Amino acid sequence: MTKIITMLTLFICGLLSAQTQFEQGMTKAFGLWKEGKNTEASALFERIAAAEKTSYLPNYYIALINTTAAFSEKDKTKIDLLLTKAQDALDVELIKDQNNAELYAMQALIYTAWVVADPMTNGMKYSAKVMEAYAKGKAIDPNNPRIVFGEADYQLGGAKWTGVDTKPLCVQVDKAVELFATFKPETPFSPKWGLDRALETQKNCKK
């Protein structure tokens, strides 16, 4: 009996230690990212992803860091490397789970980055894929603020070319802002980004 209790105690301590290492690693990676050290943050998330197979979050943030970096990059070779890295990380999680709205919001963002990098070449190629990714995410969680805002924002971005009525899209932006206010992330590390951009777009809608 004593042996069983000792084994259980060691097992629980092991779990707590692993959890603490995960949390410490995630916190450190977020700190690096906040300091603008994208490469270092991405590399640390890669190490965490290799050690922690049950959480989608390390690979998700590899995708997010590299995609957001691609939006401000001008060198097409670097953009290609960043977005390929982002897609590879996301694919690992999409293979494991097709029922996570956050992964589809991330997929749509990667496709959007391709469009922004070269609208003439990639607009036709990726626009339908962007909307398809948002549709898949919305089917899973219609109240995810990143899905609701991302879909409306993408269409607003192309409105000057498509001629689409922006009023219904601005209504969706308003809805997204409300959803951000009530959204409860599953864990301290779960995605919660997007409100700043949504508020900025909401202001532009009212001009």
Q: What is the mean pLDDT of the chain?
A: 91
CB 40 within 8 A of CB 83: no
The full set of domain ranges for the chain reads 22-126, 143-207
Residues ≥6 apart with Cβ < 8 Å to 144: 101, 102, 105, 137, 138, 179, 183
- Tell me what pLDDT residue 138 has: 97
What average pLDDT does range 146-170 have in this prediction?
A: 90
12 versus 133: the higher-pLDDT residue is 133
Domain 22-126: give its CATH architecture. Alpha Horseshoe (1.25)
- Tell me what pLDDT residue 152 has: 96
What average pLDDT does range 72-89 have in this prediction?
A: 97
pLDDT at 11 over 80: no
Measured distance CA(133)–CA(139) in Å, rounded:
10
What average pLDDT does range 132-140 have in this prediction?
A: 98
136 versus 52: the higher-pLDDT residue is 136
pLDDT at 10 over 60: no
- Tell me what pLDDT residue 111 has: 98
- Tell me what pLDDT residue 15 has: 45
Amino acid at 107: Q
Percent of the chain with pLDDT over 90: 83
pLDDT in tens, 37-54: 999 999 999 999 999 889
Percent of the chain with pLDDT over 70: 91
pLDDT at 19 over 70: no
- Tell me what pLDDT residue 169 has: 95
Looking only at Cα atoms, what is the longest distance across the chain? 74
* Count, residues in the chain: 207
- Under DSSP, is residue 39 helix (H, G, I), strand (E, B) or coil? helix
pLDDT at 81 over 90: yes
Half-sphere exposure of 152 (CA within 13 A, CB side): 26
Half-sphere exposure of 157 (CA within 13 A, CB side): 17
137 versus 21: the higher-pLDDT residue is 137
162 versus 101: the higher-pLDDT residue is 101
- Tell me what pLDDT residue 8 has: 47
- Under DSSP, is residue 139 helix (H, G, I), strand (E, B) or coil? helix
